[in-house]
Amino acid sequence: MLVATSKGKPMNYSNDINTEDVSNNQKWIVKNRVSDDVFTNRVNFLDYYYRVSLQTSQRLTMSNVLLGYRRMGKTEIFRRVVNKLFFEQNKKSPESVVPIYYTFSDQIKDDIQFATEYLETFLRFYLGFYLDEPKLIKKASGYNELRETAKKAMANVPSSETLNWILTTIENITDYPVPAKVAIELPRRVSDIDDTNIVVFLDEFQNANLPQFDFNVVGYYQEGADSPTCPHFLTGSAMSILLMEMVGKGALFGRFKFKKIEAMTSYHSSDLALKVAQKYKADINTNIAPVIAQRCGGNPYYITALIQHAAELQRCIHTEADVNDILAIDITSGFIWGELSDQLHKWITRINQSNITKWILYLASLEENGRDDDPSDDKEIDLTKIQKALKVKEHVDVDISKIRDIMIMLSRGDLLECRALSFFRIKDPVLSDFIKVWGKIEMDRMKFDQVKNDLRNQYYKFSKKSLDEYKGYLAEIHMSQILLASQKKILPGKWFHQEQSIEMPEFSFVNHRFRLSSGISKEIDLLGAAGPEAWVCQSKWVEKTKIGINVLKNLLEQSTEVKKNMNLLFMKQWIFAHDGLTKDAELFAKEKNIFWSDRIDLDALLKHLNLRPLYSFGAL
């Protein structure tokens, strides 16, 4: 049995770990929350934000919002970039960039409290950078200590006059008519006056507007962030509110670029699962890692929580049933329950609505919403059904327009998806199941143990995969990562059994288990869409048997359907056949120009793209 534990042979993941990360040498000013040995698949975001931060000195950088659902790694990216900027620059260079990092609290109740904290944070990072003194930032020095440090640092900063002005502003902040506006604009004024470079990283930016406390400073960033000398990078826990209510309209509209972070691919999610298992010494079969990735929707927090909980319970994860069992426990009473119930409470408190809001969210989660195993198959939530259920549950008549307004507010918190005033469940399988569990406990007053048992029973009824199906899916996720990693590159044709090199397109999306219409033959293992071109791919991990012509004919049939349904011009067909094709199938593939790769070919492609090879199941 292959397991990811300390007892077995150590696994080498050096290709995916950022081995040059500053935390390896204990160098940090804001502590990383994710250790280097499990940090996975976010290096491109680190490189991007580090690069554009440095370009501030050339006045090329525009303020930017990093958008993504909760727990996708946004905060970790910002923290690591801030650390890198602090430790990997020549601080005496006029081109150096001062990083400032501030997290908005969800308990800010007045402008003066915010302005004081904001200005002290700025001064702490500003002095810490120019004095090259990380401890000044790490120990969160109070203002009196900062002031004394500043008086001794006049020769170390770009302008003693500007530093004195900063101190005066902080000490007299209560004298200004709008303290928050003064605080927010100060970093930009400092960089403008001295012609220096400052980058402000703001986390949990949705808390810049807290209606329950009548606190809103969003509009003040119109001037503060609109500066080539001091760009601002924002992120937060509620993607929809950032996009739709804060920077997507009003005073900040047009002043920010957008960069989106998605769920991790199945390949990298599986990789993360094995790294976390190794870290926490959890007993996990390598072939079950993609199942964990799929069930957790590619969310790194859910993956980590599930495996960490399994290790804590000393439970092995060898089968899909093991995954289902531990996930059911975690959603109803574990790490995931604690995290999501806290987020839900905060959002419902934020929108300040009655008990009706809770009922609407719960009832919406119960709506039939397509196939649970196929996120692309979604159906609109029926508001009239919710209206009728409210009459039964709460004995109240609620107008459809009010239900719609509440659902819009819930969608702003990424608890529902709103598209053109139509509503759908969020594309987060764990969150969807959690809301049902929360509703049964909170609204239907069911006992924890009963709800937990019901969820375990529901998960048990999921279709079980055979070992060969697990293997096929493993190969499938490696194929999808090859498509993603090779975009706009040229690959040697020999690994596809083609005479010419393969010029890879840029894909708009790469989807697993794509379904055009009903019927088993219509489910496509992998579909990559690239404008007028598409790749239809199939994975056949069948050992000691070569794949025959009928499988290739089925692949061509699927390709024809895709071309017709999507109105495409160019089609590529690619099949993974573990032990290769029969002689007749090889001739057929050559005649029809079908790409094919056996185990040796696929491993060669993976190595060529610096990806890990397929697993070996010889010990199973």
Fold: same for 353-460 and 469-608: no
What per-residue confidence (pLDDT) applies to 315?
A: 92
Residue 516: helix, strand or coil by DSSP? coil
- The CATH class of 353-460 is mainly alpha
By the 10 Å C-beta count (0-12 exposed, 13-18 middle, 19+ buried), 309 is classed as buried
Count of CB atoms situated within 10 Å of the CB of 505? 19
**Residues facing 510 on adjacent strands:** 528
What per-residue confidence (pLDDT) applies to 526?
A: 92
For residues 352 and 211, the answer to whether their CB atoms sit within 8 Å is yes
- Please name which of 294, 299, 297, 439 lies closest in space to residue 365, comparing C-alpha atoms: 439
Q: What is the dihedral of CA 285, 288, 293, 294, to 10 degrees?
A: -170
Q: How far apart are CA 618 and CA 276, in angstroms?
A: 23
HSE on the CB side for 115, CA within 13 Å? Answer: 24
Task: Give exposure, 82-104, as e/b (b: 16+ Cβ within 10 Å).
Answer: bbbbbeebeeeeeebbbbbbbbb
Phi, then psi, of 314 in degrees rounded to 5 = 55, 45
Residue 14: pLDDT band by 50, 70, 90 thresholds?
A: very low
Is pLDDT at 619 greater than 60 in this prediction? no
What per-residue confidence (pLDDT) applies to 166?
A: 96
For residues 436 and 366, the answer to whether their CB atoms sit within 8 Å is yes
For residues 215 and 104, the answer to whether their CB atoms sit within 8 Å is no
Residue 52: helix, strand or coil by DSSP? helix
Q: How far apart are CA 190 and CA 100, in angstroms?
A: 13
Ranges 148-162, 471-485, 508-522, most confident:
148-162
Residue 620: pLDDT band by 50, 70, 90 thresholds?
A: very low
Q: Which residue has the higher pLDDT, 409 or 493?
A: 493
Average pLDDT estimate for 322-351: 86
What are 72's two structure tokens?
């996708």
- Pairing, β 416-419 against β 422-425: antiparallel
Is pLDDT at 496 greater than 90 in this prediction? yes
Sign of CA dihedral 453, 263, 380, 393: positive
Query: 469-608: which CATH topology?
Result: Trna Endonuclease; Chain: A, domain 1 (3.40.1350)
Q: How far apart are CA 128 and CA 119, in angstroms?
A: 14
**% the chain with pLDDT above 70:** 89
Is pLDDT at 517 greater than 90 in this prediction? no
DSSP string across 226-288: --SSS-EEE--S-HHHIIIIISSSGGGTTS-EEEE-PPPPHHHHHHHHHHHHHHHT--BBGGG
For residues 272 and 303, the answer to whether their CB atoms sit within 8 Å is yes
Question: For the segment 540-578, what is each residue's pLDDT rounded down to a tens digit?
Answer: 988 899 999 999 999 999 999 999 989 999 999 999 999
For residues 269 and 242, the answer to whether their CB atoms sit within 8 Å is no
Q: How far apart are CA 409 and CA 399, in angstroms?
A: 16
Is pLDDT at 116 greater than 90 in this prediction? yes
- Please name which of 247, 241, 261 lies closest in space to residue 413, comparing C-alpha atoms: 241
What are 329's two structure tokens?
């426990």
Question: For the segment 367-390, what is each residue's pLDDT rounded down to a tens digit?
Answer: 754 444 444 456 789 999 999 998
Return mean pLDDT, the chain.
Answer: 86
Question: For the segment 23-72, what is each residue's pLDDT rounded down to a tens digit?
Answer: 344 589 999 988 888 888 888 999 999 999 999 999 999 999 998 888 88
Is pLDDT at 607 greater than 80 in this prediction? yes
Element spanning 600, H or E: helix 599-608
What per-residue confidence (pLDDT) applies to 24?
A: 43
What per-residue confidence (pLDDT) applies to 468?
A: 61
What per-residue confidence (pLDDT) applies to 131?
A: 95
Average pLDDT estimate for 250-271: 85
Q: How far apart are CA 150 and CA 163, in angstroms?
A: 7
What per-residue confidence (pLDDT) applies to 594?
A: 96
Is pLDDT at 16 greater than 60 in this prediction? no
For residues 224 and 185, the answer to whether their CB atoms sit within 8 Å is yes
For residues 326 and 310, the answer to whether their CB atoms sit within 8 Å is yes
**Residues facing 258 on adjacent strands:** 65
175: Cα separation from own chain's centroid: 42
Residue 12: pLDDT band by 50, 70, 90 thresholds?
A: very low
What per-residue confidence (pLDDT) applies to 571?
A: 96
Helices 111-130 & 143-152 angle (0-180, nearest 10) = 40
Is pLDDT at 242 greater than 90 in this prediction? no
Residue 120: pLDDT band by 50, 70, 90 thresholds?
A: very high
Average pLDDT estimate for 471-481: 87
What per-residue confidence (pLDDT) applies to 2?
A: 39
**Residues facing 527 on adjacent strands:** 511, 536
First to last CA, the chain: 5
Domain ranges of the chain: 43-52+82-260, 266-318, 353-460, 469-608
Residue 5: pLDDT band by 50, 70, 90 thresholds?
A: very low
Task: Give exposure, 34-58, as e/b (b: 16+ Cβ within 10 Å).
Answer: beeebbbbbbebbeebbebbbbbbe
Q: How far apart are CA 126 and CA 194, in angstroms?
A: 13
What per-residue confidence (pLDDT) applies to 418?
A: 84
Is pLDDT at 157 greater than 90 in this prediction? yes
Sign of CA dihedral 512, 518, 521, 522: negative
pTM: 0.80
For residues 358 and 348, the answer to whether their CB atoms sit within 8 Å is yes
By the 10 Å C-beta count (0-12 exposed, 13-18 middle, 19+ buried), 23 is classed as middle
Average pLDDT estimate for 140-150: 88
